Amino acid sequence: MWCLGVILTAAVSGQQAGVPLTLPPWTAGTLDLHHIVTGRGNSTFVVFPDATTMLVDAGAVVSAPLHADPLPDGSRSPGAWIVDYVRQFHPTPARPHLDYAVVTHFHADHFGEVTAGSRTNGAGVALSGITEVLDSLGAGVVVDRAWPSYDYPSDLRADAAVDNYRRFLADAVARTGLRVERVRVGSASQFRVNRDPRWPDVGVRPVAANGEIWTGTGEATEQTFPPLAALAHADHPDENMCSIGLRLHYGRFDYFTGGDLPGDPEGAPAWQGVETRLGAVLGPTDVHQVNHHGSIDPATPGFLAALRSRVLIVPAWAPTHPSPDVLKRLLNTRYYAGPRDVFTLALREPMTHAIGARVRQLAAPHGHVVVRVAPGGAAYSVYVLDYTSPARRVTAMFGPYASR
C-alpha cells in the first residue's frame, strides 16, 4: 500500500527534489496547519505565527468499518496518537499545552466514540478522542457549537458521547479553570492568535455553525435555517449541517475548514446546502480542507468555483472517502481554471479500485499533510509525512506556492 503511494507521488510534477528527512522545526512568524492521520477521524493541529496553538477536532471511531485500520497501528488509541503527534510538533514540546480546542460537531470521527471499554479518568469520565487529548495536554479554551445548553436541533445530552463530553468539561472547568465557549459566528476576536506584534495580520473567524453564516461584512451573520417549528421533522437540520466552519487568514493566505458541512444533499430543501451560501462569502481561498471527507455530496461545482483553491486536502479515513465523483469534481478545470494539488490523508485500498486511473492525479494519497505558511503569509509549502511510523519522516514536499 505504501509503495503505491510513493510511486504515485513521484509522478506529480509539482513535487520538489531535495526533500528534508524530517519537518524543519516551527519558527516564530510561521503558520503551520497539520492534518493528522489516525485512520479513525479528523484532527488538525495549528501553530500560529505567535506560537498560539489550536486543535480542530480529535476523532476516534472505535467501532470502525472494515478496511479502516487504525494508523499507524492499534498499539495506541486515536486520541493517544494525536497527543503523540502534537508533542512532536508543538512549539514548546516540554509543555505541549493547547490554547484552543474546537469541536466542529458531535460525531465520533470528530470528537470521539465512547464504549464500555473506554479508559476513564479520576472523575469517571471516558477518555476517547477530544476528552483523551484534553486530559493529556490541557487547553485554555474549548469552543463548540452548543455550549452550554446542548439542545439544538435536538437534545444532544441524550447522546452518551455528548453526555460524557459535557461531564468531562464540567469537571475540567471546576478543577483546572478550563474555559468553554459556544462558537461566535462572524467574530474576529473569539480566537486571539496575533499576540506577537511582528505578525499582526493573522486571524481566525468562525463563518458557519448551526445554520448561522457570516455575511462577509463586519461581524454580521444571517440565520439560514428556518425555525424548527416551521419544518417537518424529516427536514430538521442534521449534525453535519450544524458543523462549525472556520476561515483562517495570514496576510494574503486564506484557509477554510468546515467539518462535515454538506454540499447539496439530493432532493433536500435548498437551505440545507450550506456550501452554496458559504462559497460566496469565502471567495478565493488558497487551501481548503474538503468538507465531509469528500463523501458523496460536498464540493459542489459552485463551492469549488468560488474558492478556486490551489491546494485541496481530503481528510479521508474510511473506505468511502473520497467518493469517485467528488474527486472528479475536485480535479475538474471547467469549474475553475489552473492547476491544483489534491491530497488525501489515507486513501483506503477499496477506494483506489473504485476511483480507477484518476487516482494517479492525486498529489499524494497517503500521509499527514502539513501546510507551512512562510512569515507574512505571502507563500506556503506542503509537506507530506509518513504515517506508518511515529518518526513521521517527510516523504514529499510541494511548492512553494504564492498566496493569492
Specify the residue, 143 or 379, whose C-beta has the smaller distance to Zn ion.
143
**297 scored as a contact of Zn ion (CB under 5 A):** no
Specify the residue, 109 or 254, whose C-beta has the smaller distance to Zn ion.
109
- Binding-site size for Zn ion (CB under 5 A) equals 2
CB of 29 to Zn ion, least distance (A): 33
CB of 297 to Zn ion, least distance (A): 13
Q: Which three cell numbers stand for residue 342?
A: 489534491
DSSP symbol at 396 = E
The residues in 57-86 that bind Zn ion, with binding defined as CB under 5 A, are none
- Could you tell me the end-to-end alpha-carbon distance of the chain, in angstroms, rounded to an integer? 35
CB of 19 to Zn ion, least distance (A): 31
CB of 107 to Zn ion, least distance (A): 5
DSSP string for residues in 349-387: HHHHHHHGGGGGGSSBSBSEEEEEEPTTSSEEEEEEE-S
3-state class of 172 per DSSP?
Answer: helix
**Of the listed pieces 46-54, 82-90, 103-111, 323-331, which binds Zn ion according to CB under 5 A?**
103-111
CB of 110 to Zn ion, least distance (A): 6
3-state class of 32 per DSSP?
Answer: strand
DSSP symbol at 316 = -
**How many angstroms separate the CA atoms of 38 and 270, rounded?**
34
Please identify which residue in 109, 132, 171, 297 interacts with Zn ion, judged by CB under 5 A.
109
* Contacts with 196 (C-beta within 8 Å, 6 or more apart), sequence order: 28, 29, 49, 50, 51
**Of the listed pieces 215-223, 259-267, 268-276, 387-395, which binds Zn ion according to CB under 5 A?**
259-267
**Of the listed pieces 101-109, 207-215, 273-281, 368-376, which binds Zn ion according to CB under 5 A?**
101-109
Specify the residue, 42 or 118, whose C-beta has the smaller distance to Zn ion.
42
**Of the listed pieces 93-101, 107-115, 120-128, 267-275, which binds Zn ion according to CB under 5 A?**
107-115
**How many angstroms separate the CA atoms of 247 and 267, rounded?**
29
Specify the residue, 260 or 264, whose C-beta has the smaller distance to Zn ion.
260
Please identify which residue in 171, 260, 341, 386 interacts with Zn ion, judged by CB under 5 A.
260
Specify the residue, 109 or 275, whose C-beta has the smaller distance to Zn ion.
109
CB of 25 to Zn ion, least distance (A): 31
Specify the residue, 81 or 380, whose C-beta has the smaller distance to Zn ion.
81
**Of the listed pieces 13-21, 47-55, 189-197, 258-266, which binds Zn ion according to CB under 5 A?**
258-266
**Of the listed pieces 191-199, 253-261, 266-274, 378-386, which binds Zn ion according to CB under 5 A?**
253-261
Residue 254 β-bridge partners: 249
**How many angstroms separate the CA atoms of 9 and 15, rounded?**
8
CB of 296 to Zn ion, least distance (A): 12
The 3-state secondary structure of 191-229, one letter per residue:
CCCCCCCCCCCEEEEEEEECCEEECCCCCCEEECCCCHH
**How many angstroms separate the CA atoms of 298 and 345, rounded?**
17
Taking each helix axis from N to C end, the angle separating 130-137 and 160-176, rounded to the nearest 10 degrees, works out to 10
**How many angstroms separate the CA atoms of 23 and 127, rounded?**
30
Residue given cell 496575533 in the structure block: 194
The residues in 315-344 that bind Zn ion, with binding defined as CB under 5 A, are none
Which residues of this chain interact with Zn ion, rule CB under 5 A? Answer: 109, 260
